[in-house]
């Protein structure tokens, strides 16, 4: 047998030139190409029609906020967006990154920025499943009997609902979707898992869904999946069963993050300093009343909108949050 060129498939990238060196030492001399399974599948097994980027809306004035791992001993991971980008760019992946936080904490905004980060057909593209779109769609009731036992089941249902509403997003068949996910070249972002489950209470099997996540990631340990949830539907019994899930918590804004947000939001407005100070005067009592000195970004956004809508030359907003925690 005469070899003119050798293509070598590897699980991960190896030392450059190492294979050629081994071949040369054993008396072989022909050109070689080294390519990872992920790159080979993405480049040669998935049609270019499936590698289409999409436009994802992003909230303005995004401020990254701290992320905390939920373990026996919680550990701060630093700014959430930066940490998750770094994690998702690693060669070895856990089955999914699950982010728990109450409503108004900024989960959706964080998801928007993660999904937007991966819109390069030559590198990776994202699929962004939003519970809000399902909740607001008039088509959901027509799919209430759909059984959701896997990642693809959820994706297929979401695609059917959004396509019925006029969406022009690319729709993947099961084989293409799962292969792209296995290679890590499709980044799946699911925002609002708790709401999705509440929309399909009889047919959403969370246990089977998580099992499908684990099974897919077991192939190459390259799946990139981010899931957010308002309340803790991922109980510790499930976490123990699926040990390769990472679980995190968003903490909300501290005073420094509030000030940074307000400076960015008001920077091009008249009376920007007065607006910032007036909003801060309403925020500080809320921060002081919180054990962890945190506040929901939604509340900061609400106060900012009220300040912007003020028609008085003198900015004047006075709100009462007595007995409430935000």
Q: What pLDDT is recorded for position 100?
A: 93
Q: What pLDDT is recorded for position 25?
A: 84
Query: Between the CA of residue 181 and those of 62, 122, 285, 307, what are the distances in Å?
Result: 28, 15, 46, 44
Q: What pLDDT is recorded for position 310?
A: 73
pLDDT tens-digit readout, 83-105 = 999 999 998 999 999 999 999 99
* β-strands 119-120, 124-130 pairing: antiparallel
Q: What pLDDT is recorded for position 166?
A: 64
pLDDT tens-digit readout, 26-75 = 888 888 888 888 888 888 888 888 888 888 889 888 999 999 998 778 89
Cβ atoms 111, 101 nearer than 8 A? no
Tokens 């607006």 — which residue? 275
Cβ atoms 152, 161 nearer than 8 A? no
From the list 215, 214, 185, 212, the residue with the least C-alpha distance to 37 is 185
pLDDT tens-digit readout, 149-208 = 999 999 999 998 888 766 666 789 999 999 999 999 999 999 999 999 999 999 999 999
Among 133-142, 145-154, 253-262, where is mean pLDDT lowest?
133-142
């Amino acid at each position: 047998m005469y070899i003119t060129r050798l293509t070598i498939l590897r699980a991960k990238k190896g030392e450059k030139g190492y294979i050629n060196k081994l071949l040369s030492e054993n008396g072989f001399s022909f050109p070689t190409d080294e390519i990872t399974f992920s790159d080979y599948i993405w480049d040669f097994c998935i049609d270019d029609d499936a590698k289409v980027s999409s436009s994802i809306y992003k909230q303005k004035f995004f401020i990254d906020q701290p992320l905390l791992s939920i373990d026996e001993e919680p550990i701060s991971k630093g700014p959430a967006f930066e940490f998750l980008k770094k994690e998702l760019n690693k060669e070895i992946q856990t089955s999914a990154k699950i982010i728990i936080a109450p409503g108004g904490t900024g989960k959706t905004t964080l998801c928007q920025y993660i999904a937007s980060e991966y819109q390069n057909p030559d590198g990776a593209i994202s699929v962004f499943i939003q519970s809000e779109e399902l909740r607001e769609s008039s088509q959901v009731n027509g799919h209430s009997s759909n059984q959701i036992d896997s990642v693809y089941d959820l994706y297929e249902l979401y695609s059917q609902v959004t396509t019925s509403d006029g969406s022009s997003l690319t729709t993947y068949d099961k084989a293409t979707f799962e292969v792209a996910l296995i290679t890590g070249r499709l980044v799946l972002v699911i925002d609002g898992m708790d709401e999705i489950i509440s929309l399909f209470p009889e047919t959403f099997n969370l246990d089977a869904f998580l099992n499908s996540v684990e099974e897919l990631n077991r192939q190459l340990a390259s799946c990139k999946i981010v899931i957010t949830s308002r309340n803790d539907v991922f109980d510790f019994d499930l976490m123990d069963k699926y040990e390769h899930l990472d679980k995190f918590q968003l903490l909300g804004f501290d005073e420094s993050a509030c000030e940074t947000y307000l400076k960015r939001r008001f920077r091009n407005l008249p009376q920007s300093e007065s607006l910032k100070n007036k909003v801060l005067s309403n925020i500080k009592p809320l921060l002081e009343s919180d054990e962890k000195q945190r506040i929901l970004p939604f509340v900061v956004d609400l106060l900012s909108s009220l300040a912007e809508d003020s028609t008085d030359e003198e900015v004047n907003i006075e709100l009462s949050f007595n007995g409430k925690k935000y």
